[in-house]
Each structure stands twice: as structure tokens, then as C-alpha cells.
Structure 1
Amino acid sequence: MDWYQNVFDLIDFRSFSNLWFWIALAVTWSTASHWVLGVPWDMAVRAHKGKNAQSIIDFEDMVRINTNRILFIAHESGLLLSGMVAFGMTVLVLLGFVYDNEFSQAVFLLGMPLTLVGLLSVRTATRIQAEALSGAALIKRLTRHRLIIQVIGVVSLFMTAMWGMYQNMNAGVLG
């Protein structure tokens, strides 16, 4: 019986008191900030320094490939994806905040800001392609995109931490 208790303590669905949730949240926002439009940020830094012409070419090629991929997915299945994401977020809101399921609250607080990042990525990819950006203008656009992602991440982390502390204090009072 002790073994089962250890397993269920490790896989605790009270997300806000679980260390694994906070680790996953930190890794998610770190990854979202590093991979801007699917391009690793260190490539942008190397291209910005401009010491090697090949690094600029590689960066522009990587951005072109990823913007084409993002826009292809948006054009081919954007409506279906929008409907599925809206359905999923609605289910999470209902389960989490109407039926008071903490796991659904945690997934919503992780997923909703990432949905905003996804929409922002489609918008940025559209602008990059429409304006045929390259060189310093492309780096500037991706820098702005990354900054907005970081702001969304900071606000998301703050709101999740506040909601998590509120939930943990209520669990302490009620439990």
C-alpha cells in the first residue's frame, strides 16, 4: 500500500502544489522565448553580429523555411485548428473554473498564453513574408516578436503564481 501512495504522491493532480508543474511552466516559457518562430535565438544573435556571412544566410533561410511552414499550416488547417483550440480552451475553462478542477485550471493557465503566442507567430510570419524582410529588418522584427513573447510569459507566470498561491491557501484552509 505504501508503494501506491508514493506513486500517487508523485503524480499529484493538485497542480499548483506540485513541483513538476512549476518546472514544466518554467521550461515551457524558456523554450518559447528561445525558439522564435521555430528559429533558435542564438542564430539571430550570430546573424546580428554579422561576422560571418554564412550565419546571416543560414538565419534568413531558417526564418524563410519556418515562416512558410507556419503559414502553410495556417492556410491549410487554420480554421480547423482554431475550432479545436477554442473547444479545448472552453472545456478547460468549464472544468477548471466552473467545476473547480485544479488540473484543468493549470493546463488552461499554461495553454491560453501559448495560444496567444501561436496567433502572434502567425501574424509575425505573415508580416515577414508580406514585407519580404531580410537582414537587419528581419532581426529587428524577430527581436520585437521575442520581446512580446517574453512579456506574455512574464504576465502568464505572474498570474499563474498568484492563482496558484490562492488555490494553495484555499486548500490549506479547506483541507
Structure 2
Amino acid sequence: MPQFDGFISFLDSRSFGTIWYWLAVIGMWSSSGRKIIGVPVEVLLRARHALSRDETDGPAMVALLNWLSLTLPRWRLGHREAVVILAATGFLMTSLAGLGFGYDLEMAQALTLLLLPFVILFWMRVRLARRLMPLLQDEHAERQLPAVAAEVVRCMNWHRRLVTLLSILAVAITALWGVLWSLMHPNGM
């Protein structure tokens, strides 16, 4: 079928051997670690330092909670939207993985190794947002600001550590698979 030959030849182009792929991997992971669900890491670090100095109702905590009140509504997913996003990403990732690892297409393998950790990261962010939304609603209810702020900082720090671990694993696995692919296919074939 001639209409699919162009698509298949695009997927079969070299990726692990080009500098552009590795720049994309490094660039995407370095930019993903700068914000946690839309909140800059600097705001979180200031809040964490204020928490360690027992300044739980200072401007750093208020700034963090203000950022969260602005960014958390963007991460609100209803059940229908979550199912649609899960189905679409599941289909796309399964298709890419099948083409890449089942039919031995290098570009599909590279895209799978690049995008799969970001799908995991997306769902980690949705989970964090769902965990933080009740805390911010408690802020206006019976809980005090210091207790809410401390719990928010704790949750976001754990998320930041998990994102760092995920990025290290993703880059290491991608690099190992890229080296293995290059050794098994020295001329790109």
C-alpha cells in the first residue's frame, strides 16, 4: 500500500543515532522538572525553608497556596475526561510499542521510550492535584493554615522526588536501549 509506505519509512528512520533525539530527551526532562503542577520549584523551596524555620504563616506559604489556587483547577479531571484520556494514551502508547518492539522500528521504539514516562508523569500530576484539592478546601474550613501548608509542602516534595527518580530511570533506560540498539544495528539496519 503506497499511502502507508511513507509513514512506515518515517517510523523507520534513525533516531538513537542522532543528536536531535538526545537533545529532545534532555530538554523535555529538564523542562518538566522546573514546575510541579504549574508551581515553580523556587516557590516550593521557599515554602519548605520557611517551614523549617517555623514560619508557617509567612509570605512564602501564602505564595505557595496562591499558586496552587491558580493552578490546581487546571488539573481537575472528571471521570469521563479521565477515561477518554486514558483510552487515547493507552491506544497510542500500545500502538507505538507494538510497532517499535514488535516490528523492530527504531523511531517507534524511540518515541515509546520518550513518551511513556511523560504519560506516567501526567497521571502522577493528576493524582497529586486530586490529593491537594481537598487540602485547599480544608484551608477554608476547619484546618489551620500552618497544618495545610505543611501537608501541601510534604506532598509536593514527595512528588518532586518521584519525578526526579522517574526522570533518572527514563533517561538511563533510554540511553541503555539506544546503546544496545546501536550495537545490534551498527549501520542502522
TM over 0.5: yes
Alignment size in residue pairs: 163
Cα offsets for 1:140-160 (capped at 9, x unmatched): 110100100111111111111
| Alignment map for 1:1-20 (pairs within 5 Å) | 13-20=13-20
Shift of 1:74: 4.6
Identity, in percent, stands at: 26
| Alignment map for 1:18-97 (pairs within 5 Å) | 18-50=18-50, 53-71=58-76, 73-75=77-79, 77-97=81-101
Give the equivalent residue in structure 2 for 1:102: 106
CA root-mean-square deviation: 2.2
Highest CA radius of gyration, 1 or 2?
Answer: 2
Q: TM-score, normalization: structure 2? A: 0.78
Shift of 1:46: 2.1
Conserved? CA contact 1:74–1:122, under 8 Å: no
2:162 is aligned, of 125, 133, 148, to 148
Cα separation, partners in 2 of 1:89 and 1:135, compared to 1, 3 Å: same
Conserved? CA contact 2:14–2:188, under 8 Å: no
Q: TM-score, normalization: structure 1? A: 0.83
**What letter corresponds to residue 164 of structure 1 in structure 2?**
G
Conserved? CA contact 2:72–2:129, under 8 Å: yes
2:119 is aligned, of 111, 115, 118, to 115
Any stretches of 5+ residues in structure 1 without a counterpart? Answer: 1-11
2:152 is aligned, of 132, 138, 154, to 138
Pick the structure with more helix per residue: 1
Give the equivalent residue in structure 2 for 1:8: none
Any stretches of 5+ residues in structure 2 without a counterpart? Answer: 1-11, 140-147
